[in-house]
Amino acid sequence: MSNAVSTAPGPSVGVRNSKQTEQRKAALAWLTIPALFFFLVFAVIPLAGVLILSFTSWDGIGAIGAAGLDNWFSVLADPGLYNALGLTFLIMIVSWLVQTPISLLLGVFTAGSQRYRAVLAVLYFLPLLLSSAAVAIAFKALLDPNFGLATGLGLPFLAQDWLGVPQLALGLVIFVIAWQFVPFHTLIYQGGVRQIPKSLYEAAQIDGAGTIKQFFHITLPQLKYTIITSSTLMVVGSLTYFDLIFVLTGGGPGNSTRILALDMYLRGFRANLMGPASVIAVILVIIGLALALFLQRLGGKDKQGSQLEGL
Amino acid sequence: MKQPQTSRRSFLALAALTPFAVAATSACGTSGPGASSGNGGASMWFLSGEPNQTNMQKAVDAFNQANPDNKIAITFFQNDAYKTKIKTAIGANQAPTIIYNWGGGTLKTYAEANQVEDLTSWLDSEPDLKKKFFPSTFSAATVNGKIYALPNMYVGPIVLFYNKELFQKAGVTPPKSWDDVMSLVKTFNGMGVAPFSLGGQSRWTSMMWLEYLLDRIGGPDVFKAIFEGKPNAWMDPAVIETGTKIQELVSADGFIKGFSSITADSNADQALLYTGKAAMMLHGSWTYGPMKKDGKNFVQDGKLGFVQFPSVPGGKGDPKNGVGNPANYQSISAKASDKEKESAKKFLKDGIMTDAMIDAYINSGSVPIVNGIESKLNTSPDKDFLNFVYDLAKNAPSFQQSWDQALSPTAAEALLNNIDQLFLKSITPQQFAENMNGTLGK
């Protein structure tokens, strides 16, 4: 590696300049060591372990035995996998469709400087401070058809079997996820909107553009990268929704909310099938990587450049 | 040119350090059992929750005082957390000396992985200890003819509880046959009261219905064949009839509205019974204590009724048969040191089922699994219920262990998943039988 560097034709810059860059690069290499170390210990080694486990049969207690491709064939032939995959993507897409407009509008709204907006922003932010398990337990208690909010307030239309009917349970899971995570994305959009230079709006006003026109022609295009960031977090994050659904429905009723991450846990730690659970884990990693790369591509090649270019 | 080499060297040094870092992190996770094994005693994990936690703590304290050289260090965990943690700990060779379990399929996986000690010869050398317990309790502790666990604590049969007040109001008597059940469903629905309470999201609660129905319809041999993994054992016509009866009951609104979103660990199903929202409940005898504690004066005022599960016309099973948990079990880790094993055996023999513990269990409304306690049961304020449970356990020609404990963890998880779908009517009884048939031998 060092040979290649020394023999490579240098760029057409001064000698001193190139020396400085090299030193800086060396310093940067040193700085990456702690990060690399943790990445190795907590990401690469476990990942390799999971990959190896996916080719073994292990009940988590006894000896580990080689299984070849058996786990992969059995998991790929299992309709449960496709149910979980479908649900994962359904929750991902619907969550994105629900959360993005709400957080975008709330973000734009709270980006103003009036005091009442600041107060509201704090209120919107509250759900994010609660742990997922607490949110799930609270919603479960509120929606209990016999002892919940419906009987407490005398609202019969609320007395549905919310978590006991497959479609209702799925809808409710998406609602609770949105309730919990919209504040976070609102915060991202709020920050994004505040970065947009005021001069753009002033110019638009002079040209006679109204609020709606300003939103669609200035705010939205300027938020492109914020939307991509928020969407990446939403989409990749939705692959790991676990605690909330685990406490709220446990994957039920039936298999109607058994998403991939939950399926992995239930196979591994409930059914003692570590091999097949590892297969699911590997599939999850692949999907997560593919989605993250896809969303980065959406950002276009110029994403490294400044957003303020040309001003 | 020099810099990259340095960084590579230090990188290698860091890589060399990695195992130590991993060792350090893994050491953190096991401070519980590791702390105790130093001074020759034994470690033990047990379930939290009252009244058992206080009772067991008292037993350990008393034992430690009398045996300063064989001290027991006890740690408490919540039920579901324990089930996951103990599995992981055993897999990582970090198990406590005394492993609390429920016998059956899980114990079998431990025994076959050589993780638990064979106690057969020890029990043969301690005939008094072996004779102390109901003989029937040893079957779930036996794997391939060897005993791997000592039964203890109390028996937990599944009982049909009912709300006497609601039955008086309706002018009806508890069901004796499946026809009575179906007609009571109509009566109570007509009154605007749910016939049966059920915490269906927990799934093992729904399973209790299948256990009794299959026994009443096909007799104990049907599940015995399933347990032994005989080919097509799940395809027995009795299994299909059981599933059909369940779906008939669901269709007739036999269970409370929203049963599939109610969990048993919050005791909401018990609350439905004592608040009069539901007339009956099929549940373990262990719910008696909590209902007595939480139900205001429901139990004390004699409003709680209890009967055996009804018979099914034309069924092969004896209506005296029971299902449920024959006992709880303690095993000894095969990986423990000889000294730890010795302390553990001493505690299992002298420390757990002492007279004080037997009294404590009876006071909390449970029937300890020891012989010769009739006179004690009769002086308890809960003597009606205690005698009912005692007679049920003692006189049952067959006492089937809960299926999710009897089967291997893999088959049990598939079972619970399929039961959930059967109760939701998203699969037919035929599909249920076929799906379960695929798990035989797993």
pLDDT(B28) > 60: no
Measured between alpha carbons, how far is A271 from B46 in angstroms, rounded to an integer? 22
pLDDT tens sequence across A209-237:
888 999 999 999 999 889 988 998 999 88
Tell me: pLDDT of B409 over 80: yes
- Whether B24 shows a pLDDT value over 50: the answer reads no
Which residues 2-31 of chain B have a CB within 8 Å of chain A? 3-5, 7, 10-11, 14-15, 18, 21-22
Amino acid code (one letter) for B415: L
B217-266 pLDDT, tens digit each: 999 999 999 998 999 999 999 999 999 999 999 999 999 988 988 888 77
pLDDT digits (tens, 9 = 90+) for A173-197: 999 999 999 999 999 999 999 999 9
User: Distance between alpha carbon B281 and the CA centroid of its chain, in Å?
Assistant: 18
Contact B315, B216 (CB under 8 A): yes
* Distance separating alpha carbons of residues A5 and B116, to the nearest angstrom: 59
B29 vs B431 pLDDT, higher one: B431
State residue A271 phi and psi, 5-degree precision. -95, 5
Residues A222-247: b if buried by 16+ CB within 10 A, e if exposed: bbeebbbbbbbbbbbebbebebbbbb
Across the interface, whether the CB atoms of A26 and B271 are under 8 A apart is answered no
Pairwise CA distance, residues A74 & A59, whole Å: 16
Q: What is the pLDDT of residue B8?
A: 43
Answer yes or no: is pLDDT of B430 > 60.
yes
The answer to whether residue A243 neighbours chain B at the CB level (below 8 Å) is no
Question: Which A residues 59-78 touch B at CB under 8 Å?
Answer: 59-63
Q: How many residues are there in chain A? A: 311
What integer pLDDT is reported at residue B152 of this predicted model? 87
Least Cα separation, residue A286 to chain B (angstroms): 26
User: Which pLDDT belongs to residue B137?
Assistant: 85
Which residues are within 8 A (CB) of B242 and not within 5 positions of it... i.e. 6 or more apart? B210, B213, B214, B217, B218, B429
ipTM score here? 0.79
Q: Is B268 on the interface with A (CB under 8 A)?
A: yes
Among chain A residues, CA nearest to B260: A164
Quick one: pLDDT at residue B21? 40
Instruction: Give the span between the Cα atoms of A243 and A123, in whole angstroms.
Output: 24
Q: Model confidence over B211-223: pLDDT tens digits?
A: 999 999 999 999 9
Task: Record the pTM.
Answer: 0.82
In whole angstroms, what is the distance from residue B430 CA to residue B243 CA? 8
**Interatomic CA distance for residues B171 and B163, integer angstroms:** 12
Cα first-last separation, chain B: 59
Contact A33 B21 (CB under 8 A): no
Measuring CA to CA, how many Å separate A299 from each of A187, A303, A304, A310? 20, 6, 9, 19
Query: Rounded to whole angstroms, how far apart are CA atoms B36 and B134?
Result: 32
Burial B268-283 (b: 16+ CB within 10 A, else e): bbbbbbbeebbbbbbb
A171 touches chain B (CB under 8 A): no
Say which residues have a Cβ less than 8 Å from residue A82's Cβ, sequence separation at least 6: none
Residue pair B200/B261 in contact (Cβ under 8 Å)? The answer is yes
Residue-averaged pLDDT of chain B: 87
- DSSP E strand stretches across A39-161: 56-57, 65-66
- The predicted-structure confidence for A4-60, as pLDDT tens digits, reads as follows 444 444 444 455 567 777 788 788 888 888 899 999 999 999 999 999 999 999 888
CA distance A32 to A291: 26
**pLDDT of B391 strictly over 50:** yes
More confident residue, B93 or A13: B93
* Residue to substitute from B26, B261, B262, interface A, most A β-carbons within 10 A: B261
Query: CA triplet B161, B167, B168: central angle to 5 degrees?
Result: 135
A-to-B residue pairs, Cβ atoms closer than 8 angstroms: 123
DSSP A215: I
Q: A44 touching B, CB under 8 A?
A: no
Beta bridge partner(s), residue B75: B45
- Alpha-carbon distance of B204 to B142, in angstroms, equals 23
* Residue B5 pLDDT exceeds 50: no
Which stretches does DSSP call E strand in B250-334?
278-284, 304-307, 322-325, 328-332
Q: State pLDDT tens for residues B280-317.
A: 999 999 899 889 988 989 999 999 999 999 999 999 99
pLDDT of the residue at A16 = 58
Is pLDDT of B181 > 90? yes
Residue of A61, A75, A158, A264 to mutate for B, most B C-beta atoms under 10 A: A61
Angle separating helix axes A132-142 and A166-195, nearest 10 degrees: 130
Q: Write out chain B residues lying below 8 Å of A61, CB-based.
A: 87, 90-91, 109-110, 113, 115
Question: What mean pLDDT is predicted for residues A78-88?
Answer: 93
Q: B154 - beta bridge partners?
A: B368
pLDDT at position B194: 95
* A267-310 pLDDT tens trace: 998 888 999 999 999 999 999 999 988 888 877 655 544 455 44
Residue B21 to residue A41, Cβ atoms within 8 A: yes
Residue A72 and residue A275 in contact, taking contact as beta carbons nearer than 8 Å: no
User: What distance in Å separates the CA atoms of residue B97 and residue B66, rounded to the nearest whole number?
Assistant: 20
Q: Which of B4, B200, B409 sits opposite A29 (nearest CB)?
A: B4
Instruction: Give residue B36's pLDDT band: very low, low, confident or very high (50, 70, 90).
Output: very low
Give CA separation, B16 vs A32, A49, B20, B89, B95, in Å. Answer: 17, 18, 8, 27, 29
Distance CA B226, CA B211 (A): 12
Touching A: B residues 205-264, CB under 8 Å: 256-262
Question: CA separation (Å) from A58 to A243, A268, B404?
Answer: 25, 10, 20
Q: Do A252 and B260 count as a contact with CB atoms less than 8 A apart?
A: yes
Q: How many helices (H) and strands (E) does chain B have?
A: 21, 14
Cβ contact, residue pair A62, B271, below 8 Å: no
Mutate to test the interface with B, among A146, A262, A273, A274 (most CBs of B within 10 A): A146
Query: Count of alpha carbons within 13 Å of B247, Cβ hemisphere only?
Result: 17
pLDDT tens by residue, B309-330: 999 999 999 999 999 998 889 9
SS3 for B185-217 is: HHHHHHHCCEEEECCHHHCHHHHHHHHHHHHHH
For strands B72-77 and B150-152, give the pairing.
Answer: unpaired
Distance from C-alpha of A253 to C-alpha of B422, rounded to nearest angstrom: 11
Does B420 sit within 8 Å of A253, measured CB to CB?
yes
Answer whether A29 sits within 8 Å of B84, measured CB to CB.
no
**B406 within 8 A of B227, measured Cβ to Cβ:** yes
Which chain A residues are closer than 8 Å to B110 by Cβ?
A: 61
Q: Is A145 on the interface with B (CB under 8 A)?
A: yes
What pLDDT is attached to residue A157?
77
Whether the CB-CB separation of A173 and A249 falls below 8 Å is answered with yes
Residue labelled with tokens 């709300």 = B163
Q: Which two structure tokens, joined as six digits, stand for B251?
A: 């269709």
- Enumerate the residues of chain A whose CB falls inside 8 A of the CB of residue B257: 145-146, 161
- CB B422 within 8 Å of CB B211: no
Q: Dump pLDDT digits (tens) for B334-380.
A: 988 888 888 888 898 888 888 888 988 998 889 998 888 888 899 98
B189 reaches A (C-beta below 8 A):
no
**Amino acid in the structure at residue A237:** G
